[in-house]
Amino acid sequence: MSRRSLLQIGAATTGTALVGAAAVAVAGPAGATPTARLFVHGVASGDPLPDSVILWTRVTPQPTATPGSGRGAVVPVSWEMSADPSFRRIARSGTVNAGPAGDHTVKVDVRGLTPATSYWYRFRCQGVASPVARTRTAPADGAAVPRLRMAVVSCANLQAGWFSAYRHLAARRDIDVVLHLGDYLYEYAPGEYQARDVVVRPHDPPREMVTLSDYRRRHAQYKTDPDLQALHALAPWVVTWDDHESANDAWKNGAENHTPGAEGTWSARKAASQQAYAEWMPVRYTPGGTLYRRFRCGRLASLSMLDLRSYRDEQVSSPVDPAINDPARTITGPDQERFLLEGLADATVQWKLVGNPVMIAPVRLPSTLDARAVEGIGTLVDAEVPPVAGVPYNVDQWDGYPAQRARVLGVLRDRGIRDAVFLTGDIHSAWAADLPADPATYPVTGDSLGVELVCTSVTSDNLDDILNTPPRTASLAVETAIKANNPHVKYLDFDSHGFSVLEVTPAGVQMDWFTLIDRTDPRSAAVWSTSWRVPAGTRKVQPAPRRLA
């Protein structure tokens, strides 16, 4: 059963529970401090380069200037960056205007900064100062860098729980950058997609987001979450979108969760989602422009961030559709494929990291699963028809574009590229997998061309949620069967919500996974789950002897 089918059932069900409050702070609560009233949505930074970084905020100059309203005056907003948190040494400053044309968001690309340096920043509007936050520039190109440590997150559905994963990450002091791999927010109406059958925090606006006003209001609601604000204030973010920033299973000319006519044209909806994303995210992106881009961390690593929605061909209807093997089918588009291959072949950096919104490792469905498990996996991957044993289980991933994946992995093989790691979100589960040179011969040869590490969802439903079973019960047999049928998959957790921490050093790459006790509890604890490591030069993933210090 597809997710759309489930949504249609859920929307027609009157017994869906609504828990908690989704009060959206748009002008600050009565009695709030001037800072809380003016800077309701916090501050953020992103896209760090050696000499520049993006600073972001949103101001509410009048109570009527609510997100998506198109109301409110144009007002000047000043900003300051300092080399110390007390702002005794101002490094850069300036003033910009914020008005209804940009939904009163402010985005500044600050240049002329020093590489590998921490800065503190703040904004001022109408005599009121914003909260102070920290950011950091990237190391200089060619610099020797001993370590890079990143938070890795994806799939944060506000209706499905609290962002405790962000809270736990914000409490750390070892994070250089936050990597968000997509599904920063979700498009659904209340009652359509939540925590099993419980809406923990109803979405605003109380409908599926379709128009520019809808997308702006939804971004604004997410930005009022205090845990999200805290993590934005800790470190710069590097982000990409997946599908839910626009609509489920988006492709270049449409989406599974878009109905032409009733919901307007896809081109108008896509443009609205991209404009709101450009306004509300700390990213070096303009509406209709190119989101894929690359970052460098000295000689240690590059990070190629992909956009796997804007240029892809439509997903095939099923994994047995003969069109799946058409060599002309693309998930990246030709220009982005060249961009990706250039990054993988860059000999001036050691580690070639790829911010990869959907899985690239091949996964074949085993024949040993019962009908209920197969249906649950079909819902998890949003399959319109039930998955079939022996073929790819999710054609929305690179498995739906095998000829292009073969070209990409062929470059790793033919060029002798040894340290490529794909960092992935989307699938609401945790994976560590080799990228086999040939899945058919891998069980004998063990030949691997790279590694994929997949972070789980912050809150979005996992397999146990779909099956409505306790965590780590029914899913265990499914995980065992998938790993047996796909021996290059070394680790799989279909049930847990949480976050990951990734460390990159010249000796290796290691990811630690952390699991939330209860995503529906705003005070949920988080516990370390497992750690996997990619030793330099091996192209293979293995259990780490210990978690990161």
Estimate the share of the chain in helix, then strand, then coil, as percent rounded to the nearest 5.
25, 25, 50
- Out of 40-54, 178-192, 380-394, least confident range: 380-394
Mind listing the pLDDT tens digit for each residue in 371-401? Answer: 888 888 888 888 876 676 788 989 999 999 9
Binned at pLDDT 50, 70 and 90, residue 28 comes out as low
pLDDT the model gives residue 384: 72
Q: Tell me the average pLDDT across 172-199.
A: 95
pLDDT the model gives residue 369: 85
| d(C-alpha 243, C-alpha 259), whole Å | 15
Q: Tell me the average pLDDT across 478-500.
A: 97
- Where is pLDDT greater, at 189 or 11? 189
Q: For residue 84, is pLDDT > 90?
A: yes
- Where is pLDDT greater, at 12 or 341? 341
Q: Please return the burial class of 280, using the count of CB atoms within 10 Å of its CB with bins 0-12, 13-18 and 19+.
A: buried
| d(C-alpha 322, C-alpha 480), whole Å | 29
Q: Tell me the average pLDDT across 486-499.
A: 98
Please give the DSSP secondary-structure letter assigned to residue 497: -
List the domains of the chain with CATH numbers: 3-32+139-543 (3.60.21.70), 34-138 (2.60.40.380)
Mind listing the pLDDT tens digit for each residue in 147-175? Answer: 999 999 999 999 999 999 999 999 999 99
pLDDT the model gives residue 29: 56
Chain-centroid distance of CA 373 in Å reads 26
Q: For residue 21, is pLDDT > 60?
A: no
| d(C-alpha 401, C-alpha 315), whole Å | 9
- Out of 3-7, 19-23, 199-203, 486-490, least confident range: 19-23
Query: Could you give the percent of the chain with pLDDT greater than 90?
Result: 88
Q: Give the residue from 507, 523, 499, 516 showing the smallest Cα distance to 178.
A: 499
| d(C-alpha 236, C-alpha 226), whole Å | 17
Q: For residue 10, is pLDDT > 50?
A: no
Q: For residue 191, is pLDDT > 60?
A: yes
Binned at pLDDT 50, 70 and 90, residue 326 comes out as very high
Q: Tell me the average pLDDT across 192-202.
A: 92
Q: For residue 282, is pLDDT > 60?
A: yes
Binned at pLDDT 50, 70 and 90, residue 30 comes out as low
pLDDT the model gives residue 375: 87
